[in-house]
């Protein structure tokens, strides 16, 4: 009986997530269309779809928490979903601050992909070692994820910076290019999300090492996930440093941001083959 | 009602004629008043700008008014001399012209934004002295709505069509907000000064001026409340500026790639915008290859202007289509407004007759059962409705017809509805 209800709840959570997915799909469509032509109306429609999507997404995440009864478990199970939600949140904050949906060109596909992965997963997979220190784990996950979300946005911004710089240099601007925010605004979006994301990432890694210490008694630097996370953090650090000291932006900054982003993606994917950080059932 | 418009604009009249016809703002209220006192004119409005003088009127009883006569009287001008430059529109064409003017489709620079504000001022002035009331009010406010629609649905006014404004647009594309940005003016020239002035108007903070002749720099700096710099110090100080406008007569480039590298290093890679108006060019095009330096020469700017002008032309076609639709919609609306009060008073009129007749024969019929009462009611109502059916449907279809007024007149006369109909028309006009 209890299992049945849980299953039902699980189905509902997935259902809401799929509704959110459909709404993000509108955003995705916007991103694709926006590459070739612009439409104010569509812009607004996509934005509202994204708002609604976030709402359903939140419902889905909340149900996930109610379902497992543990914030930690829910976070681990719905990691892609949670990350997608946080990226959307950062995107919306950017929109409110800068009145631009341009990062959406890159944000929407990423969010759509993450949500898609979460929404089409067949089985709720479980696995947590008993005796983990949950509060540290919650801190670890939420800090790292916020860091990830900020990193994704910063990556988007550096790509947009390149696009805008290119269009200004070649002296041709049409379609979406003429709607991109000003170069310095894009630069600020990228830099700020970098500055905000970095401490989150750092603290998240610290929290992670505390969890590892307390669970396994040590931090296993041989583990691919941990190795990659550290690499990502190092690139992150270099990015903040070069920007801070030398004001790197444009091409150089975009290259660094791409490396950091690639490291982040690989580190994320490493969940599936890491021995200690696995939360996928084998 | 009947709209009538007469005027001159930059296409039909040279400035010598326009300036003689222009009415200064201070005298506009009085001119509007005089316009409404002119015979045959019910309501009136005068638009007087540097590119056009137009008189719009709603004439009494749909009869044409002598607007030429008003112009001659007001300006004491010779009719024949004036005639060559005048254009006159009535009814639908007057509506279309007003819509086009408000939407900036009739402007010298199509899409320029000032004209709408000028029409709004003219409207406010005429309204304040009571020259614009019910019907003209509807027309003019509709023109504002059309102008707004054109502005939001087409890009007719969104691109810059002068070198200076293109430069400002580009600066905004790079820096976003121009507030606090520094401008460096190297050399002098009309176009570079204009660009600088535009940039300052958009919030740029301060200006440095360098010139081969230091005195010239000082006087220019004074004009812009900026700072004059000795030409030898140009390369040491240039990195302080975000936007550099150059127009010297130097035979070789004065800014080369190596300068750009130094500027960028000193600016910690903050972007820099070079507007090179000089021919031969002052800025080595290789500078544009540096990350964070954007160089636009005179050709680049002119090309942007040309492509914007072409864009505007395309958008203007779409705007004209919108205007056509809106003119038709407006015509349909005022014609139905014409018809509605007539239908209402026709219905009132016949209903009064029906009631009176029933009351008259009631005494003779004696006491009736409720069934009989209902039968009489149904019988009389049936007759009235059958009689009314044709005139009402004729009126309704006439509303879509340009000949509406004659049909309305005829129906009113047939049923002796004149006074009531006119009174109602006035009411409904004002409440709308």
pLDDT one-digit tens code per residue, B111-138: 888 889 999 999 999 899 988 887 888 8
Interface check for A171 against chain B (CB to CB < 8 A): the answer is yes
pLDDT of B243 over the 90 cut: yes
pLDDT of residue A125: 43
DSSP label of A127: -
Report how far apart, in Å, the C-alpha atoms of B138 and of each of A106, A203, B1, B46, B123 are.
47, 65, 12, 16, 11
For chain B, the average pLDDT equals 86
CB distance B427 to B344 below 8 Å? no
Over residues A92-109, mean pLDDT: 80
Q: Give me the long-range contacts of A115-124 (CB less than 8 A, separation at least 24).
A: A115/A17, A115/A20, A115/A21, A115/A24, A115/A57, A115/A80, A115/A81, A115/A84, A116/A21, A117/A80, A118/A17, A118/A78, A118/A80, A118/A81, A118/A84, A119/A14, A119/A17, A119/A18, A119/A20, A119/A21, A119/A81, A123/A281, A124/A10, A124/A77
Domain ranges across chain A: 1-85+102-112, 127-282
CB distance B7 to B68 below 8 Å? no
| Prediction pTM value | 0.65
Q: Write down the catalytic residue from B32, B50, B204, B238.
A: B50
CA–CA–CA angle B412, B416, B422 (5° rounding)? 55
Does the beta-carbon distance from B175 to A165 stay under 8 Å?
Answer: no
pLDDT of A206 over the 80 cut: yes
Does the beta-carbon distance from A248 to B269 stay under 8 Å?
Answer: yes
Q: Give me the long-range contacts of A68-73 (CB less than 8 A, separation at least 24).
A: A70/A134, A71/A134, A71/A138, A72/A128, A72/A132, A72/A134, A72/A137, A72/A138, A72/A141, A73/A126, A73/A128
Interface check for A97 against chain B (CB to CB < 8 A): the answer is no
Residue % of chain A over a pLDDT of 90: 0
pLDDT of residue B56: 92
pLDDT of residue B429: 38
Interface check for B384 against chain A (CB to CB < 8 A): the answer is no
pLDDT of residue A181: 81
pLDDT of residue A173: 60
Does the beta-carbon distance from B292 to A249 stay under 8 Å?
Answer: yes
pLDDT of residue A191: 86
Does the beta-carbon distance from A171 to B304 stay under 8 Å?
Answer: yes
pLDDT bucket at B403, cuts 50 / 70 / 90: low
**Sequence-separated (6 or more) residues with CB below 8 Å from residue B142:** B99, B326, B330
Q: In what order do the strands lie in the sheet with B293-297?
A: B227-230, B206-211, B182-186, B243-246, B272-276, B293-297
Which of B177, B268, B300 is nearest residue A247 as measured by Cβ atoms? B268
pLDDT of A265 over the 90 cut: no
- Tell me the range of A262-266, B57-61, B178-182, B345-349 where mean pLDDT is highest: B178-182
Q: Which two tokens stand for residue B285?
A: 């095009």
Interface check for A175 against chain B (CB to CB < 8 A): the answer is no
Does the beta-carbon distance from B176 to A182 stay under 8 Å?
Answer: yes
- Tell me the range of A58-72, A166-180, B135-149 where mean pLDDT is highest: B135-149
pLDDT of B337 over the 80 cut: no
In terms of CA atoms, which chain A residue is nearest residue B296? A171
pLDDT of residue B423: 42
Interface check for A254 against chain B (CB to CB < 8 A): the answer is no
pLDDT of residue B432: 37
pLDDT of A280 over the 50 cut: no
Write out chain B residues lying below 8 Å of A177, CB-based. none
Over residues B145-163, mean pLDDT: 85
Over residues A243-256, mean pLDDT: 81
pLDDT of residue B95: 92
Interface check for B288 against chain A (CB to CB < 8 A): the answer is yes
More confident call, B409 vs B325: B325
Interface check for A246 against chain B (CB to CB < 8 A): the answer is yes
**Alpha helix (H) residue ranges in A178-250:** 183-216, 224-246
pLDDT of residue A49: 85
| Assembly ipTM | 0.72
Residue-wise pLDDT tens digits, B359-397: 888 888 778 888 888 898 899 999 999 988 888 888 877
For chain A, the average pLDDT equals 76
pLDDT of residue B307: 84
CB distance B44 to B58 below 8 Å? yes
The string over B152-188, giving b where at least 16 C-beta atoms fall within 10 Å of a residue's C-beta and e elsewhere, is: eebbbbebbbbbbbbbbbbbbbbbbebeebbbbbbbb
pLDDT bucket at B312, cuts 50 / 70 / 90: confident
What domains lie within chain B, and their CATH numbers? Answer: 3-153 (3.30.460.30), 163-291 (3.40.50.720), 330-431 (no CATH)
Interface test mutation site (partner A, options B149, B264, B271, max chain A beta carbons within 10 A) = B271
- Helix A79-98 / helix A134-170 crossing angle, nearest 10 deg: 50
Residue-wise pLDDT tens digits, B252-295: 899 999 999 999 999 988 999 999 998 889 999 999 999 889 99
Does the beta-carbon distance from B292 to A248 stay under 8 Å?
Answer: no
Interface test mutation site (partner A, options B151, B170, B173, B243, max chain A beta carbons within 10 A) = B173
More confident call, A14 vs A5: A14
Does the beta-carbon distance from B176 to A165 stay under 8 Å?
Answer: no
Question: How far is the alpha carbon of A187 from chain B, nearest alpha carbon, in Å?
Answer: 10
The string over B303-313, giving b where at least 16 C-beta atoms fall within 10 Å of a residue's C-beta and e elsewhere, is: ebbebbeebbe
More confident call, A176 vs A226: A226
**Number of neighbouring beta carbons within 10 Å of residue B16:** 7
In terms of CA atoms, which chain B residue is nearest residue A41? B153
Interface check for A252 against chain B (CB to CB < 8 A): the answer is yes
More confident call, B425 vs B315: B315
pLDDT of residue A241: 87
Over residues A115-122, mean pLDDT: 72
Interface check for B381 against chain A (CB to CB < 8 A): the answer is no
Active site residue B50: yes
pLDDT of B400 over the 70 cut: no
pLDDT bucket at B238, cuts 50 / 70 / 90: very high
pLDDT of B168 over the 70 cut: yes
Write out chain B residues lying below 8 Å of A189, CB-based. none
Does the beta-carbon distance from B173 to A173 stay under 8 Å?
Answer: yes
Q: Rounded to whole angstroms, how far apart are CA atoms B344 and A65?
A: 66
Question: How far is the alpha carbon of A157 from chain B, nearest alpha carbon, in Å?
Answer: 14
pLDDT of B327 over the 60 cut: yes
Question: How far is the alpha carbon of A232 from chain B, nearest alpha carbon, in Å?
Answer: 25
pLDDT of residue B240: 92
pLDDT of A127 over the 50 cut: no
Over residues B144-153, mean pLDDT: 91
**Alpha helix (H) residue ranges in B154-230:** 163-175, 190-201, 214-224
Residue-wise pLDDT tens digits, B21-67: 888 888 888 888 888 888 888 889 999 888 898 999 988 877 788 88
Does the beta-carbon distance from B271 to A184 stay under 8 Å?
Answer: yes
In this predicted structure, which of A188-202, B162-176, B330-344 has the lowest mean pLDDT?
B330-344
pLDDT of A2 over the 70 cut: no
Interface check for A185 against chain B (CB to CB < 8 A): the answer is yes
């Amino acid at each position: 009986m209890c299992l049945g209800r849980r299953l039902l709840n699980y189905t509902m959570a997935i259902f809401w997530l799929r509704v959110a997915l459909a709404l993000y799909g509108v955003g995705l469509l916007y991103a694709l269309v926006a590459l070739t032509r612009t439409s104010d109306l569509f812009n607004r429609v996509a934005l509202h779809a994204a708002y609604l999507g976030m709402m359903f997404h939140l419902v889905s995440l909340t149900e996930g928490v109610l379902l497992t009864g543990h914030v930690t478990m829910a976070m681990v199970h719905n990691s892609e979903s949670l990350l997608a939600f946080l990226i959307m949140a950062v995107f919306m904050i950017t929109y409110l601050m800068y009145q631009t949906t341009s990062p959406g060109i890159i944000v929407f596909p990423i969010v759509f992909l993450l949500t898609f992965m979460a929404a089409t997963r067949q089985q709720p997979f479980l696995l947590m070692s008993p005796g983990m220190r949950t509060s540290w784990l919650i801190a670890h996950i939420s800090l790292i994820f916020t860091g990830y979300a900020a990193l994704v946005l910063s990556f988007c911004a550096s790509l947009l910076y390149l696009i805008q710089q290119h269009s200004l240099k070649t002296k041709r601007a049409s379609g979406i290019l003429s709607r991109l925010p000003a170069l310095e605004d894009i630069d600020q979006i990228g830099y700020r999300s970098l500055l905000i994301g970095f401490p989150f990432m750092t603290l998240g890694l610290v929290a992670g090492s505390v969890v590892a210490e307390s669970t396994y008694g040590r931090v296993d630097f041989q583990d691919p996930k941990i190795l990659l996370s550290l690499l990502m953090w190092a690139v992150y650090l270099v990015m903040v440093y070069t920007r801070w000291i030398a004001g790197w932006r444009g091409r150089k900054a975009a290259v660094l941001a791409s490396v950091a982003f690639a490291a982040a993606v690989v580190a994320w994917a490493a969940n599936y083959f890491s021995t200690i950080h696995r939360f996928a059932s084998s | 009602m009947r709209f009538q418009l007469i005027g001159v604009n930059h296409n039909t009249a040279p400035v010598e004629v326009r300036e003689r016809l222009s009415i200064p703002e201070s005298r506009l209220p009085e001119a509007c008043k005089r316009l409404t006192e002119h015979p045959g004119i019910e309501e009136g409005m005068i638009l007087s700008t540097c590119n056009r003088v137009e008189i719009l009127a709603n004439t009494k009883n749909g009869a044409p008014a002598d607007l030429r006569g008003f112009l001659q009287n007001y300006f004491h001008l010779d009719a024949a001399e004036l005639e060559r430059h005048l254009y006159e529109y009535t009814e639908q064409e007057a509506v279309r012209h007003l819509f086009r003017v408000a939407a900036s489709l009739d402007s010298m620079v199509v899409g320029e934004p000032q004209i709408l504000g000028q029409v709004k001022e003219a409207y406010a002035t005429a309204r304040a002295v009571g020259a614009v009331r019910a019907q003209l009010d509807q027309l003019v406010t509709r023109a504002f709505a059309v102008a707004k629609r054109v502005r939001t649905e087409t890009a007719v006014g969104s691109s810059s069509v002068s070198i200076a404004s293109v430069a400002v647009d580009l600066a905004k594309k790079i820096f976003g907000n121009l507030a606090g940005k520094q401008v460096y003016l190297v050399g002098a020239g009309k176009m570079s000064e204009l660009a600088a002035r535009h940039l300052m108007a958009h919030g740029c903070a301060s200006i440095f001026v360098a010139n081969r002749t230091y005195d010239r720099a000082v006087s220019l700096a004074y004009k812009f409340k900026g700072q004059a710099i000795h030409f030898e110090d140009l390369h040491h100080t240039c990195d302080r500026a975000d936007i550099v406008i150059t127009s010297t007569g130097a035979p070789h480039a004065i800014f080369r790639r190596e300068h750009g590298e130094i500027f960028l290093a000193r600016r910690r890679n903050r972007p820099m915008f070079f507007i090179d108006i000089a021919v031969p060019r002052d800025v080595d095009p290789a500078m544009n290859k540096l990350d964070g330096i954007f160089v636009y020469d005179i050709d680049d700017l002119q090309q942007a202007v040309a492509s914007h002008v072409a864009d505007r032309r395309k958008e203007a076609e779409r705007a004209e289509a919108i205007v056509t639709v809106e003119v038709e919609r407006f015509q349909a609306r005022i014609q139905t407004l014409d018809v509605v009060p007539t239908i209402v008073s026709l219905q009132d009129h016949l209903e009064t007759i029906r009631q009176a007749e029933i009351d008259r024969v009631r005494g003779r019929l004696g006491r009736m059962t409720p069934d009989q009462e209902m039968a009489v009611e149904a019988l009389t109502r049936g007759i009235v409705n059958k009689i009314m059916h044709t005139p009402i449907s004729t009126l309704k279809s006439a509303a879509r017809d340009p000949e509406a007024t004659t049909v309305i007149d005829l129906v009113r006369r047939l049923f002796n509805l004149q006074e009531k109909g006119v009174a109602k028309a006035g009411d409904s006009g004002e409440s709308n």
